[in-house]
Amino acid sequence: MNHLFTRSSGILMHITSLPGPWDTGDLGNEAFRFIDKLHDARQSLWQILPLTIPDSNGSPYASISAFACNPMLINPERLVQENLLSESVYHQILATDKSLTEKKRHVFKETYFQTRNQESTFSAFHKFIDKNSYWLIDYARFCILKTIYHSNTWTEFPEEYKWRHPEALKKLDAEYDETIQQLMFEQYLFNRQWFQLKEYAHARHIQIVGDIPIFISHNSVDVWSHPDLFKLDETGKPYVISGVPPDFFSRTGQLWGNPHYRWDRLKETNYAWWIHRIEHILEYVDYIRLDHFRGFESVWEIDVHATTAEKGRWVPSAGHEFFQYLRDHLGILPIVAEDLGVITDAVRKLRDDFEFPGMKILQFAFDSDDNPFLPENYTTELCVVYTGTHDNNTTLGWFRHDASPDEKKRCLDRLHCDPQDVPWNMIRYGMESIAVWMITPLQDILELDETARMNFPGTTKGNWRWRTDLNAFDNDRIQRLKDLTEKTNRI
């Protein structure tokens, strides 16, 4: 078995779900407090969603950059505590009538100006630029161009910027040097705060499980700066787009709309872009959940003019050669394969040949006695069991509203509990399994109903907004989780 994985358990909760006075959770005191609670409950893993900048609907799976982190996760109070921003200026900003997002932006700008003369800070900032120049400068340029031209996509930029003429970029760099520096400084501040949090987690024996979406938004700096790596027409627009055929989540499939990779071209570059991407995220996290793993064996290509994902075709994609190249250059990879949906023998072989744990979702397990997601049917320890993921209802919401009568009966027959006690007994059921990891959404630890759901696939309204109250993760729940963890030998 992959030696990077040992019997453990943890909790799934994104940074944005943390409580606090801002309009999203961030890297402030509540993040450190959550790590303390994980430690007290003897958990080893904290799984998060992508750290990237979310789209206008709040989804971190549709970002303008595969590398840039969401600056809205920076905690302003910590900037004051570290003497990067004066307390008086901070309170002046808080007193303005701007939105919370605008206030944060103002905080970052003032921090940049106040630290310009701090030699140690600016030395560290320029080291950060040097290390990340392969994506950082283009990210800042892209943000500026989108602002200047109020464009929905880079294909609407003027031709000299759309196709990245060197003289035009040089002119942009000179004219907007201060803004470029500020945008890069935001990324530095995130980096600085994140690594302090990561170090705190490691000191308490907590490892962080990150997330890489397989696909990239067309409206991204990555596609703009590397158009040759994607299936685009002569205008820069995709002619085939991503999605999945009809499945459990949607009768008409899911039409994601991302451009597809040109794996032939990526191979010619020795997969340099993907190497950079994986190396980059492995600096931030200890393990990676590789989203839509199925797409690394073959992808569902849909005509760009289609209105649903029902009609498409499976096209071979990365395959064994890609992962072998990664292993040769990066070693054994700490990857969890999100192998849900339409999974074939070829996908299973790709997963198993590289010893990536797959995923088992207990909410999907009760439609038959031979369902492979039932713990008694697991054939290997090398898997990760979840009650549900960020794409599922909470377990309480699932049992009350989504499970069929037959599923409810099978569930209660196995859990040996009353309906109101399903969430914790579902956790126990997974913890007792042979799966190497058990990860539980915090909503299920707190026994919350469907109003605490994080995301409903195929919809864009009302997702990604759930915020928790860490006081509800109280000593009784911590002790209960600790006892269960010790009893199931997941320390």
Domains of the chain: 8-487 (3.20.20.80)
Burial (CB < 10 A; 0-12, 13-18, 19+), residue 412, is middle
* Rounded Cα–Cα distance for residues 389 and 395 (Å): 10
Residue 147 is predicted with a pLDDT of 95
Residue 249 is predicted with a pLDDT of 66
Residue 279 is predicted with a pLDDT of 97
DSSP 3-state assignment of 111?
helix
Residue 361 in contact with residue 340, Cβ under 8 Å?
Answer: yes
Residue 146 is predicted with a pLDDT of 96
Residue 383 in contact with residue 357, Cβ under 8 Å?
Answer: yes
Active-site residue set: 291, 338, 391
Residue 437 is predicted with a pLDDT of 98
Q: Which residues does residue 172 pair with via DSSP β-bridges, in sequence order? A: none
Q: At residue 302, what are phi and psi to the nearest 5 degrees? A: -120, 140
C-alpha distances (whole Å) from 460 to each of 243, 292, 456, 463 are 15, 19, 8, 7
Mean pLDDT by 10 residues, the chain (491 residues): 92 98 97 98 98 95 97 98 96 95 96 92 96 98 96 94 98 98 98 98 98 96 98 97 84 91 97 97 98 96 94 95 96 96 92 97 96 97 98 97 96 95 98 98 98 91 96 98 98 91
